[in-house]
């Protein structure tokens, strides 16, 4: 059975890559709607041409409500306020949603959590297979190295990124903190300046770089006296995220209401059980 996919943020960096990823996936997946901001200069443009793929006959429209009845699963890589509104619209129409947007406030996250009681949602700060494997490796490293190491998270992204630290860096921090029984909200240190004093062992530090066209680098360092372990992921193309999000959309179609993540899609949670 064909799964009809809509993309919100279709003219964005990820949106265009998603249009390409769906075309490459072929098979049972079909792009049926492309949505942008109501004031976007791309309204009416062909979404395939925008993505550099040649005409696909799916024009960019300015409101999800116009096309929601043509969609089985929405893939949303936009901005937090738009995602929250799109989740509400999807919940009203029982349309499953894959959320790639990052940078939600706790209140916005609570809206998403509530909507997952009505509709299937797959949300991940990073849809690449490699990063999701790294989450497993980080969990193992934290459990083995325990309280004998200092843990620091470094991330670098392109100059256009609007939130910091990245959602992926925060997810990595959560994985490590959970493995060690620490509360990230209490132990996270976001940047250092001036007379900081010596580092205390339980803190988890975050460092952010914004420069050029870096797609996404993440390193978590576990440093002891005499040795250190570093787990690094480097994305060189947005296609790694887009392919994962499209795989998540295919997996999500027809699932019962609930909040899922990429670890569910890849079957990685079973490894921890
Ligand atoms: P971008 O700015 O290039 O694209 C966002 C698009 O959303 C823009 O075209 C914008 O016009 C559109 N938009 C804004 N409001 C909208 C609305 N109400 N309706 C429809 N479209 C709307 O940004 P990007 O680099 O594509 O990233 C988008 C989001 O995805 C960011 O939060 C980023 O952090 C996140 N991201 C997540 C992953 C992941 O794997 N989870 C990977 C890359 C980026």
Domains along the sequence of the chain with CATH: 3-123+238-272 (3.40.50.720), 129-235 (3.30.360.10)
Expressed in angstroms and rounded, the spacing between residue 125 Cα and the centre of ligand 1 is 12
Residues 48-80: pLDDT tens digits?
Answer: 999 999 999 999 999 999 999 999 999 999 999
**Contact between residue 94 and residue 71 where contact means Cβ atoms under 8 Å apart:** no
Q: In angstroms, what is the span from residue 50 Cα to ligand 1's centroid?
A: 15
- Ligand 1: nearest atom to the Cα of 40: 11
Radius of gyration of the chain (CA): 19
pLDDT tens, residue by residue, 224-268: 999 999 999 999 999 999 999 999 999 999 999 999 999 999 998
pLDDT at 172: 97
Query: Which of 112, 235, 109, 111 is closest to 169 using CA atoms?
Result: 235
On whether the CB atoms of residues 63 and 36 are closer than 8 A, the answer is no
- Going across the sheet that includes 188-190, the strands are 188-190, 204-210, 150-157, 216-223, 228-235
What is the pTM assigned to this prediction? 0.90
Determine the Cα–Cα distance for residues 71 and 97; give it in Å rounded to an integer: 10
Mutate to test the pocket of ligand 1, among 6, 9, 60, 100 (most ligand atoms within 8 A of CB): 9
Report residue 201: phi and psi, to 5°.
-55, -40
Identify the residue whose C-alpha is closest to ligand 1 atom 40: 126
Contact 153, 206 (CB under 8 A): yes
User: ω before 165 within 30° of 0 (cis)?
Assistant: yes
CA pair distance 252, 1, nearest whole angstrom: 14
Would you tell me how many other CB atoms lie within 10 Å of the CB of residue 188?
18
- In angstroms, the CA 174 to CA 270 distance is 19
Ligand 1 binding pocket, CB closer than 6 Å: 8-9, 11-15, 35-37, 40, 77-79, 82, 100-103, 124-127, 241
Strands 150-157 and 204-210: parallel
**Sequence-ordered list of residues with C-beta below 8 angstroms from that of 144, at least 6 positions apart, any chain:** none
The residue whose CA is least distant from atom 8 of ligand 1 is: 12
Give the model's confidence band at 269: pLDDT under 50 very low, under 70 low, under 90 confident, else very high. confident
Of all protein residues, whose CA lies closest to atom 10 belonging to ligand 1?
A: 9
Structure confidence by residue, pLDDT tens digits, 196-209: 999 999 999 999 99
Q: Where in the sequence numbering do the catalytic residues fall?
A: 157, 161
């Amino acid at each position: 059975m064909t799964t009809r996919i809509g993309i919100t943020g279709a003219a964005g960096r990820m949106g265009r890559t998603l249009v390409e990823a769906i075309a490459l996936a072929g098979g049972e997946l079909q792009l049926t709607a492309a949505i942008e901001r109501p004031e976007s200069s791309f309204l009416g443009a062909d979404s395939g041409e925008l993505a550099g793929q040649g005409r696909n006959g799916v024009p960019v429209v300015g409101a999800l409500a116009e096309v929601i009845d043509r969609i089985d699963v929405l893939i949303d890589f936009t901005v937090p306020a738009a995602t929250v509104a799109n989740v509400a619209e999807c919940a009203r129409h029982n349309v499953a949603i894959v959320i790639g947007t990052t940078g939600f406030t706790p209140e916005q996250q609570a809206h998403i959590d509530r909507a997952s009681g009505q509709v299937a949602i797959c949300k991940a700060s990073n849809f690449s297979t490699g990063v999701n494997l790294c989450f497993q490796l980080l969990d193992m490293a934290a459990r083995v190295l325990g309280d004998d190491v200092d843990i620091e998270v470094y991330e670098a992204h392109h100059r256009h990124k609007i939130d910091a630290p990245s959602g992926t860096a925060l997810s990595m921090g959560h994985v490590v903190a959970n493995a060690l029984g620490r509360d990230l909200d209490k132990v996270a240190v976001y940047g250092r300046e001036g007379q900081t004093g010596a580092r205390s062992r339980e803190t988890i530090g975050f460092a952010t770089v914004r420069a050029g066209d870096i797609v996404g680098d993440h390193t978590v360092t576990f440093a002891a006296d005499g040795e250190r372990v570093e787990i690094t992921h480097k994305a060189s193309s947005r296609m790694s995220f887009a392919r994962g999000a499209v795989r998540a959309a295919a997996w999500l179609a027809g699932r019962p209401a609930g909040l899922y993540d990429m670890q569910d899609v890849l079957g990685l949670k079973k490894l921890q059980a």
